[in-house]
Amino acid sequence: MGTLIGNPLIKAFFIIFLVSAATATATGDAPFIIAHKKASLNRLKSGAERVSVSVNIYNQGFTAAYDLSLIDNSWPQDAFDIVNGNTSHSWQKLDAGGHLSHSFELEAKRKGMFHGAPAVIYFRIPTKAVQQEAYSTPILPLDILEERPPENKFEWRLMAKYGSQISVISIVVLFIYLIITPSKASKKKR
């Protein structure tokens, strides 16, 4: 046991563990903001395409965050028109373990691939005068107004029309298969 404690490598790991534990308790009383940004495309019958964007903000820290403001300037005005909502929003407070959500809708003006940047969330911690900053996750590339092949959906009316006949045939085939294949018990008796 004395050799194990006397090992300098073990002592170094022990000191690093103590320092990291002390640092974690000192910084563990601050808000920890996580933001998730997602976008989905909706094709309208008129041929236009709308982009629905939502940003979910979570506080995984142990104290509240104050004066939150979300700014998402990654949508250029020459490529998108705002149809519903706004690309920025503000809140007074986000409690520890709390969740906020903001969404808006855009209409695409031109065709092409779009790569969006993360949204920026500014917030304030009561113990610090400096405004803090957090970034959301970036969105996947969007192929706006792309030519999509028609989707082959499952034909439910064919299932309704021929479903009973298919099930009867399946049961008959299964019954014949069970009769034709010898069982394991009959193989052992021979």
pLDDT digits (tens, 9 = 90+) for 132-150: 999 999 998 888 877 766 6
Domain limits for position 53: 33-144
Q: Say whether pLDDT at 21 is over 60.
A: no
Is residue 52, in this structure, part of any structural domain at all? yes
106 or 21, which is more confident?
A: 106
Residue 187 has pLDDT above 70, yes or no: no
Domain count, the chain: 1
pLDDT at 25: 47
Residue 163 forms part of a structural domain: no
User: What is the per-residue pLDDT for 48?
Assistant: 83
In a domain, 18, yes or no: no
- Domain-embedded: residue 98: yes
pLDDT of residue 166: 86
Helix, strand, coil % over all residues of the chain, rounded to 5: 30, 35, 35
Poorest-pLDDT segment among 39-48, 55-64, 125-134: 39-48
151 is a domain residue:
no
- Of 46-50, 152-156, 159-163, 186-190, the one with minimum mean pLDDT is 186-190
The whole-model pTM stands at: 0.63
Tell me, yes or no, whether 47 lies in a domain: yes
DSSP state of 149: P
Higher pLDDT, 23 or 51: 51
Residue 84 counted as domain residue: yes
Taken in order 27, 96, 31, 131, the sign of the CA dihedral is negative
User: How much is the pLDDT for 116?
Assistant: 87
Instruction: Please state the φ and ψ torsions of residue 70, each to the nearest 5 degrees.
Output: -105, 130
Average pLDDT over residues 40-58: 89
CATH number of the domain at 39, please: 2.60.40.10
Least confident piece of the model among 56-65, 71-80, 129-138, 177-186: 177-186
Is residue 185 assigned to a domain?
no
Which one, of 88, 129, 85, lies nearest residue 107 by Cα?
85
